[in-house]
Structure 1
């Protein structure tokens, strides 16, 4: 069978500024239990180009990353935020992610310490809602990303799967 091999095209780099996490306690969910952690998003920057269109802009304050910590080495992330492009239009992002690492490295992140990004597995699948009609293709395309957590920010690169 000759199916096309997916290719990755970088479309945007984000630096998302975050505030101190809110620890919301242990919760029960459909698949078990975990610790709920909410990380407020306070702003950030976006750079990039997708299909010849500028993706430059800013991450607006007010979003958050709703994490479910499932073990001492893993968390499921559900971040929701909006970016304001330089032309004044908006893109709403829902970003589901998985972050894993050794117990020592994850504990260091929780304490607000830097951990080299290559020691943490941080992969995401962003979905977009767009205001501009010429960006509607983003709502019908698959994207993946990679990220790194730092004490005051998260850095990510999103890729279009072609």
Structure 2
């Protein structure tokens, strides 16, 4: 039996504006894994098969595990042009050379080609016509800029 190689269907591009990071400190105890950093989300846009805005009030809850790698857990709401709202939980890995990651943390511009940023978004929806967002696997790629994160989401077919 030959299994099919998955294809990717582009579904959306996002621009998510962010505020300055809040350092919550080094996690200690049984869950000791690294430095907890929280990045407030201030708004943004989504376009493609989904069109609308990223609402302010979400955040990216990061666990910095080394000088070169972080686990990201972003949670936010999309307000689509048709009135529907979509809750997004986006797990990601961002890694790169320590000196480039340090530049990102300082708010400096870094060439996205130097940073590995891949994500796995999941969705909760309040409209039947969006149920397709809940019955597939999605992946994405992203880039961090001083004031925003840009991402592309794909459905795995």
- What's the TM-score once normalised by structure 2's chain length? 0.97
> What residue is the counterpart of 1:102 in the other structure?
97
5+ residue gaps, structure 2: none
Match of 2:19 in 1: 19
Equivalent residues, number: 157
Unaligned runs of 5+ in 1: 50-54
CA deviations on 1:129-161 (whole Å, 9 max, x unpaired) are: 011101112111000000000000000000000
Q: SS at 1:28's partner residue?
A: coil
4+ runs deviating over 4 angstroms: none
**What is the correspondence of 1:13-162 to structure 2 with a 5 Å cutoff?**
13-28=13-28, 32-49=32-49, 55-162=50-157
Q: CA deviation at 1:28?
A: 3.1
Distance 2:87 2:29 in 1: 26
Q: Deviations over 1:30-53 (max 9, x none)?
A: 56420000000000000002xxxx
Secondary structure class of the residue paired with 2:57: coil
Residue 99 of structure 2 aligns to a residue in which SS?
Answer: helix
Cα deviations by residue, 1:35-92 (Å, 9 ceiling, x for unpaired): 000000000000002xxxxx11000000000000000000000000000000111000
Cα RMSD, aligned residues only: 1.0
User: Which TM-score applies when normalising by structure 1?
Assistant: 0.94
